[in-house]
Amino acid sequence: MATNFRTSSSLLQLRSSFCFSPSLSSSKLRLSKSKRLNFVQHRLVIKNSSGFDEDCSFDGFSVKPNKLFMQEAIGAEYGEGFETFRLDGPLKVDVDFLNDRLQEGFLKRIRYAMKPDEAYGLIFSWDDVVANTGALKLNAWKQLGLEEGKEIPPEADAQKLMLYASADHVLHKILRWETIESEVDRLKSRLSQIYYDNLSKLRKPMEGLEEWLDAVSTAHIPCAVVSSLDRRNMVDALERIGLKKYFQAIISEEDGMESIAHRFLSAAVKLDRKPSKCVVFEDDPRGITAAHNCTMMAVALIGSHPAYVRSRAG
């Protein structure tokens, strides 16, 4: 994986005189009229549960194969968002709604005029941007193949498809394992067990990322990390690789977002930045498209996809 981060970003001019904002640690994010969003007579609540299903775990790690090895929808093709809940009932939250409601107040406009970097929010994809999860997933498939006495195709194109397709598609269309349907769930469960076992051994982030985040922190720019992992495993992994202190918001499986775009919009809310002021760091063309659907800016990182594929995502 050739992803690199450099502190001399042409997108944001970093200023070392700034300080980093405190971490958000509450389990629910409330945005009220008097404080952040100038809502009228209600508060928006975004659930951020840290609950853990003990009936579906492996050595302390949650095993949810349908969340790990699946292809998520891009989302927000027409600016639609997600549904959340307020005290007086459900609320539809879409891109235009957030861009309107997350407008800066008078004092923030003055602050951002003096320190324009702070007006932005940075959103990082966990997969192959923060950590080399592609290698973890491929190794999980290879180990599963060894255990089952099956072959994994050596071709690079086939292995790349295995990283981004759903487990069902990989088993039936790519690997073509002659497996009865009752065995599919067992294979997917074992695949997730292997993945989480490999994840527990992860100790390093992507090359150059920590130095880049350290430079960003001096500019007082809030950061979020987005993943389909459950929150417990997400936090544990960030702590092991030493990056948890850099992220003010974590979007995990418990947030209940149904698409990539929904995860990005949830991150914008938690960072208290309107979508048009957020910058997404992605190596997957689908994630780049989702960011643009949300009116966010996107930085396409050099990684597992060729440049011509990423350019079409815009």
Cα torsion for 218, 263, 64, 180, to the nearest 10°? -130
Contact 37, 44 (CB under 8 A): yes
Report the alpha-carbon distance of residue 57 to residue 206 in Å, rounded: 27
- Pairing outcome for strands 44-47 and 28-31: antiparallel
pLDDT of res. 26? 35
Fold of 28-131+206-312: Rossmann fold (3.40.50)
The span from the CA of 203 to the CA of 309, in Å, is 30
191 near 65, Cβ under 8 Å? Answer: yes
Q: What is the dihedral of CA 275, 11, 307, 69, to 10 degrees?
A: -40
The per-residue pLDDT for 302 is 74
Phi, psi of 62 (to 5 degrees): -70, 135
Token pair belonging to 274: 């309107």
Assess contact for 298 and 285: CB atoms under 8 A: no
Domain boundaries, the chain: 28-131+206-312, 133-199
User: How many whole angstroms separate alpha carbon 11 and alpha carbon 150?
Assistant: 47
pLDDT of amino acid 156: 84
Amino acid type, 81: G
Contact criterion met (CB below 8 Å) for 123 and 280: yes
Q: Give the Å distances, CA to CA, from 19 to 100, 207, 215, 216.
A: 28, 24, 10, 10
What is the predicted pLDDT for the residue at 303?
A: 64
Can you tell me the distance from the alpha carbon of 150 to that of 283, in angstroms, rounded to the nearest whole number?
30
The CA dihedral of 254, 273, 293, 80, to the nearest 10 degrees, is: 60
- Angle in degrees, CA 89, 95, 96, rounded to 5: 90
What is the chain's length? 314
- Taking a C-beta distance cutoff of 8 angstroms, is the pair 281, 299 a contact? yes
Q: What is the pTM of this model?
A: 0.73
Contact 248, 21 (CB under 8 A): yes
User: For strand 61-62 and strand 57-58, is the pairing parallel, antiparallel, or unpaired?
Assistant: antiparallel
Query: Nearest Cα to 200, choosing from 163, 234, 243?
Result: 234
Task: Write out the chain's pLDDT in tens, 314 residues.
Answer: 445 554 333 334 333 333 333 333 333 333 333 333 333 333 333 333 333 344 444 444 444 444 666 677 888 776 677 666 656 666 677 888 888 888 878 888 888 888 889 999 999 999 999 999 999 999 999 999 999 998 898 888 888 888 888 888 888 888 888 777 778 889 989 999 999 999 999 999 999 999 999 999 999 999 999 999 999 999 999 999 999 999 999 999 999 888 999 999 999 999 999 999 999 999 999 999 999 999 999 999 876 655 545 455 55
Report how far residue 229's alpha carbon sits from residue 124's, in angstroms, rounded to the nearest whole number.
Answer: 14
pLDDT of residue 172: 85
Structure token pair of residue 196: 């989480």
